[in-house]
């Protein structure tokens, strides 16, 4: 395990230490100012509490599973997960196991989303720990725009976006469905972060819920300067998808497409989407690809079984790939190759020079 203790990050010294909770028991959860990576050696020696014995209240009180993924070589797909919330605290107890399952499932690279400054910081740290496998996105999610966005945040974001391991600005955008932040705060934060993406020529991982018109209005202001735009976790209409594709945007597809009832419209819409505009995302711990069991082969059923705690994992991304292939009526290998090529091109995962989509 990489030792981050006393190393420098953005001119600050990193201090790695256990955070003690009730009863003087070490906790795997860190404060916003202390990053506590999972320590396999301490876990094995019993110095840390066994995560399998800890029940998570939010996800139904089930113990976290440490089962490994086993896929026959001939059925393993090569994939890139372009949006995953690995800095969510639900992964704090068993992150190394989650990453191991992802690798065994064929996930070759992944991009972590930043939703707050703290989560963006952690995404960068994880990218440093796993170069070539994990890459970072940094941003302020619309849910947190009201509490987090200010002039100081913008300066911190500029420093983060300039880092080479940061390959995207996101997750950013507008959410007028839940409105956890006032719409005026969401709009201000989104506009500033779009401008930031344009300045640094980093792709934008953009969240949009019930805000299509304003979303397009803001992005249209920057037309001619925009970097690649990924409409993250697309759940909109066929017409909205066509509008995005016509603008040259990419469509991020998650496990939402697998859901029997609510995913029906998306399955119909994606059938008309060019394959060179599709990217695959797990969006874990959200968007479990819980398709009807009769629609899944044994491999997909095995992958989804790792979500029995109610928490999605990146190892389920092959299920999304199979569903997209079925919608497009093509072989799944065609989907995996195209989406990997798209991800490598959009996020420059194999290049050093930023892509300018509109140059």
Q: Which residues contact 304 (CB under 8 A, 6 or more apart)?
A: 288, 289, 290, 296, 316, 319
Does residue 46 belong to any structural domain of this protein?
no
Please say whether the beta carbons of 112 and 123 come within 8 A.
yes
Give the separation between CA 202 and CA 233, rounded to whole angstroms. 19
DSSP 182-230: -HHHHHHHHHHHHHHHHHHT--EEEEEES-HHHHHHHHHHTTTT---EE
Please say whether the beta carbons of 222 and 195 come within 8 A.
yes
Strands 8-9 and 12-13: antiparallel
Please say whether the beta carbons of 83 and 281 come within 8 A.
yes
Task: Give the model's pLDDT for residue 250.
Answer: 98
Tokens of 177: 């469905």
Task: Give the model's pLDDT for residue 45.
Answer: 34
Query: Which residue range forms the structural domain that includes residue 138?
Result: 76-347
* Residue 19: strand pairing partners: 27
Whole-model pTM? Answer: 0.81
Please state the rounded mean pLDDT for residues 168-177.
Answer: 97
Note the Cα 141 to chain centre separation in Å: 12
Does position 293 have pLDDT exceeding 90, yes or no?
Answer: no
DSSP tag of 306:
G
Tokens 């086993």 map to which residue?
A: 70
Does residue 197 belong to any structural domain of this protein?
yes
Please state the rounded mean pLDDT for residues 174-183.
Answer: 96
Task: Give the model's pLDDT for residue 3.
Answer: 54
**Mean of pLDDT over the chain:** 84
* Other Cβ atoms closer than 10 A to 353: 7
Please say whether the beta carbons of 183 and 176 come within 8 A.
yes
Does residue 290 belong to any structural domain of this protein?
yes
Lowest average pLDDT, out of 46-50, 298-302, 303-307, goes to 46-50
Task: Give the model's pLDDT for residue 67.
Answer: 75
Lowest average pLDDT, out of 77-91, 300-314, 333-347, goes to 300-314
Give the separation between CA 307 and CA 116, rounded to whole angstroms. 25
Please state the rounded mean pLDDT for residues 155-177.
Answer: 97
Strands 79-84 and 107-112: parallel
Does residue 60 belong to any structural domain of this protein?
no
Does residue 258 belong to any structural domain of this protein?
yes
For residue 166, give the H/E element and its range.
Answer: strand 166-175
| Better-scored residue on pLDDT, 309 or 53 | 309
Does residue 146 belong to any structural domain of this protein?
yes
Task: Give the model's pLDDT for residue 8.
Answer: 53
For residue 271, give the H/E element and its range.
Answer: none
Please state the rounded mean pLDDT for residues 92-101.
Answer: 92
Give the separation between CA 53 and CA 49, rounded to whole angstroms. 8
Which sign, positive or negative, has the C-alpha torsion 98, 99, 103, 104? negative
Domains of the chain: total: 1
Please say whether the beta carbons of 25 and 49 come within 8 A.
yes
* Other Cβ atoms closer than 10 A to 89: 14
Give the separation between CA 6 and CA 89, rounded to whole angstroms. 23
Which SS3 state, helix, strand or coil, does residue 302 take? helix
> pLDDT of 65-75, one tens digit each?
467 888 888 88
Does residue 47 belong to any structural domain of this protein?
no
Does residue 291 belong to any structural domain of this protein?
yes
Residue 262: name the closest of 240, 239, 283, 233 by CA. Answer: 233
Domain of 212, CATH number, reads 3.20.20.140
Task: Give the model's pLDDT for residue 21.
Answer: 37
> pLDDT of 197-250, one tens digit each?
999 999 999 999 999 999 999 999 999 999 999 999 999 999 999 999 999 999
What is the C-alpha R_g of the chain?
20
């Amino acid at each position: 395990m990489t030792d981050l203790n006393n190393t420098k990050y953005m001119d600050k010294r990193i201090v790695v230490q256990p955070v003690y909770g009730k009863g003087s028991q070490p906790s795997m959860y860190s404060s916003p100012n202390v990053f506590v990576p999972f320590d396999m050696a301490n876990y094995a020696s019993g110095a840390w509490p066994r995560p399998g014995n800890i029940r998570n209240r939010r996800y139904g009180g089930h113990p976290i599973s440490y089962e490994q993924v086993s896929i026959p070589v001939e059925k393993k797909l090569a994939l890139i997960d372009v949006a995953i919330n690995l800095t969510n605290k639900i992964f704090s107890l068993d992150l190394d196991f989650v990453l191991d399952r992802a690798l065994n499932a064929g996930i070759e690279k992944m991009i972590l989303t930043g939703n707050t400054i703290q989560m963006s910081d952690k995404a960068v740290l994880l990218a440093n720990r796993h170069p070539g496998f994990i890459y970072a996105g940094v941003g302020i999610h619309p849910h947190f725009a009201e509490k987090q966005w200010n002039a100081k945040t913008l300066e911190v974001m500029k420093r983060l976006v300039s880092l080479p391991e940061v390959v995207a600005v996101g997750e950013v955008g507008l959410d007028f469905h839940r409105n956890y932040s006032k719409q005026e705060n969401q709009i201000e934060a989104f506009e500033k972060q779009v401008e930031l993406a344009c300045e640094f020529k980093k792709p934008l991982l953009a969240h949009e819920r019930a805000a299509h018109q304003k979303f397009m209005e803001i992005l249209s202001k920057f037309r001619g300067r925009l970097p690649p735009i990924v409409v993250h976790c697309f759940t909109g209409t066929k017409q909205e998808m066509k509008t995005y594709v016509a603008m040259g945007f990419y469509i991020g597809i998650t496990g939402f497409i697998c859901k029997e009832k609510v995913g029906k419209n998306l399955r119909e819409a994606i059938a008309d989407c060019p394959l060179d505009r599709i990217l695959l995302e797990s969006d874990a711990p959200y968007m479990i690809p819980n398709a009807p069991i009769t629609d899944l082969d044994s491999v997909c059923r095995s992958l989804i079984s790792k979500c029995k705690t109610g928490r999605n994992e990146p190892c389920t991304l092959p299920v999304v790939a199979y569903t997209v292939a079925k919608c497009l009526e093509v072989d799944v290998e065609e989907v995996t190759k195209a989406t990997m090529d798209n991800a490598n091109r959009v996020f420059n995962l194999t290049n050093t020079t930023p892509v300018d989509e509109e140059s």
